[in-house]
């Protein structure tokens, strides 16, 4: 298997590259290094090629696809809050970029494409927990972009017979999630604030809930998804529902001290509650996440 991993220098991407190399695959990374880092990847590996390029550039995508049998498409603008602040940049990466990659894969007759969708597509849940048949009412440009991607993928499968699977990740956390940006994922921000002895900044009342899944588990799910031939979309999470206040308590337990907390105004576009059913994930991917929240937080705090 020769896998093109777009966004392979990023957080989920670099762990996925590691898992693919361990599984014996040949790997090509295409990344514009806007948030990803070369240092997230092994400095040298006989089965790894790293290319700098933009997924919105059809020629760069075609060149990176030469010889690829599979694509793991992860490159994107990943922040819900950034998509509210700059919806145009977000859509060029998340819709035009997505389309350029799946169309490039079609032209290159790649066997299979697995791509990152998101729990953000569900938006306001009619009921919890969410299964894949739940209605989608996105609350942010980001959620809408990922939903459009799912619709493009279904259309390409029907029109061209392409093999595509979208993974609706819930909230992924772990080592290498960059805390630097104000748009960074909540656990990476809280871990950095805790290390600096600063108060943890909670947007809203802290009672919003998320399903936090450890990145090495997600990397395993990605490998399983490339190896199966199911289409459509699959939720990827743990099935647990954790509020930010519960998360802060867990971080305090793992760090051995009680964090200070500051409450800021709620973030526009934010989902209130998120929880998934793991049935399809188990059936389609044969995948069960193995890392409990405290274990994953300890791995992050001691990385």
The catalytic site residues sit at: 142
Is there binding between residue 212 and ligand NAD (CB under 6 A)?
no
Smallest distance from ligand UD1 to CB 151, Å:
17
Residue 266's SS3 state is: coil
Q: Check if the beta carbon of residue 75 is closer than 8 Å to that of residue 32.
A: yes
Q: Which of 83, 153, 85 is nearest to 120 (CA)?
A: 83
In the complex, the smallest distance separating the C-beta of residue 174 from ligand NAD, rounded to whole angstroms, is 9
Please write down the long-range contacts of 193-201, taking CB distance under 8 Å and 24 or more positions apart: 193/259, 194/251, 194/255, 194/259, 194/301, 195/301, 198/260, 199/259, 199/260, 199/261, 199/262, 200/248, 200/251, 200/259, 200/260, 200/261, 200/262, 201/262, 201/264
Residue 91's binding partner among ligand NAD, ligand UD1, none (Cβ under 5 to 8 angstroms by kind) is none
- Chain residues binding ligand UD1 by CB under 6 A are 78-80, 118-120, 169-171, 184-186, 189, 201-203, 208, 210, 244, 267, 270, 274
Taking the least distance from each CB to ligand NAD, the nearer of 236 and 260 is 236
DSSP three-state, residue 245: helix
DSSP state of 119: G
Shortest Cβ distance from residue 283 to ligand NAD (Å)?
21
Phi, then psi, of 280 in degrees rounded to 5:
-65, -35
> Binding ligand NAD by CB under 6 A: which of 3, 4, 5, 13?
13
The C-alpha atoms of residue 291 and residue 51 are separated, in whole angstroms, by: 32
User: What distances in angstroms separate CA 224 from CA 44, 134, 165, one per listed residue?
Assistant: 25, 24, 11
The site for ligand NAD, by CB under 6 A, has a size of 27
> Which of ligand UD1, ligand NAD, none interacts with 75 (beta carbon under 5 to 8 A by kind)?
ligand NAD
From the list ligand UD1, ligand NAD, none, partner contacted by residue 10 (C-beta under 5 to 8 A by kind): ligand NAD
Give the residue at shortest CB distance from ligand NAD. 36
Q: Which of 19, 28, 54, 147 binds ligand NAD (CB under 6 A)?
A: 54
152 touches ligand NAD (CB under 6 A): no
Does position 165 interact with ligand NAD (CB under 6 A)? The reply is no
Q: 243-282 mask for ligand NAD (x: CB under 6 A)? A: ----------------------------------------
Residue 72, token pair as written in the block: 């793991």
Q: Per the structure block, which two tokens stand in for 215?
A: 């990145």
Interface residue with ligand NAD, options 12, 48, 101, 136 (CB under 6 A) = 12
User: How many beta carbons lie within 10 A of that of residue 123, not counting itself?
Assistant: 20
Per CB under 6 A, the list member of 3, 4, 5, 7 interacting with ligand NAD is: 7
Contacting positions for ligand NAD (CB under 6 A): 7, 9-13, 31-36, 54-56, 74-76, 78, 93, 97, 116, 118, 169, 171-172, 185
């Amino acid at each position: 298997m020769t896998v093109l991993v777009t966004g392979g220098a990023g957080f989920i991407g670099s762990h996925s590259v590691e898992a693919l190399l361990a599984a014996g695959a040949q790997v090509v990374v295409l990344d514009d290094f806007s948030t990803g880092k070369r240092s997230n990847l092994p400095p040298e590996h006989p089965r790894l090629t790293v290319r700098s390029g933009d997924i919105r550039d059809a020629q760069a995508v075609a060149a990176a696809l030469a010889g690829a049998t599979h694509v793991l498409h992860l490159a994107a603008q990943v922040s819900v809050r950034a998509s509210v602040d700059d919806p145009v940049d977000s859509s060029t990466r998340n819709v035009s970029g997505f389309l350029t990659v799946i169309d490039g894969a079609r032209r290159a007759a790649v066997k299979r494409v697995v791509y990152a969708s998101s729990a953000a597509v569900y938006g306001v849940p009619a009921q919890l927990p969410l299964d894949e048949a739940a209605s989608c009412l996105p609350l942010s440009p980001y959620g809408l972009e990922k939903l459009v991607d799912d619709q493009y993928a279904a259309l390409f499968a029907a029109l061209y017979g392409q093999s595509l699977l979208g993974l609706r990740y819930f909230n992924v956390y772990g080592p290498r999630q960059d805390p630097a940006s104000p748009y960074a994922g909540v656990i990476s921000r809280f871990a950095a604030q805790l290390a600096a002895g600063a108060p943890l900044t909670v947007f809203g009342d802290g009672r919003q809930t998320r399903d936090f899944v450890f990145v090495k588990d997600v990397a395993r799910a990605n490998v399983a998804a490339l190896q199966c031939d199911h289409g459509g979309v699959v939720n990827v999470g743990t099935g647990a529902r954790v509020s930010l206040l519960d998360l802060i308590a867990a971080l305090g337990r793992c760090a051995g001290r009680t964090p200070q907390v500051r409450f800021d105004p709620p973030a526009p576009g934010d989902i209130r509650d998120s929880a998934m059913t793991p049935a399809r994930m188990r059936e389609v991917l044969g995948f069960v996440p193995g890392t409990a929240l405290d274990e994953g937080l300890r791995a992050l705090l001691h990385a």
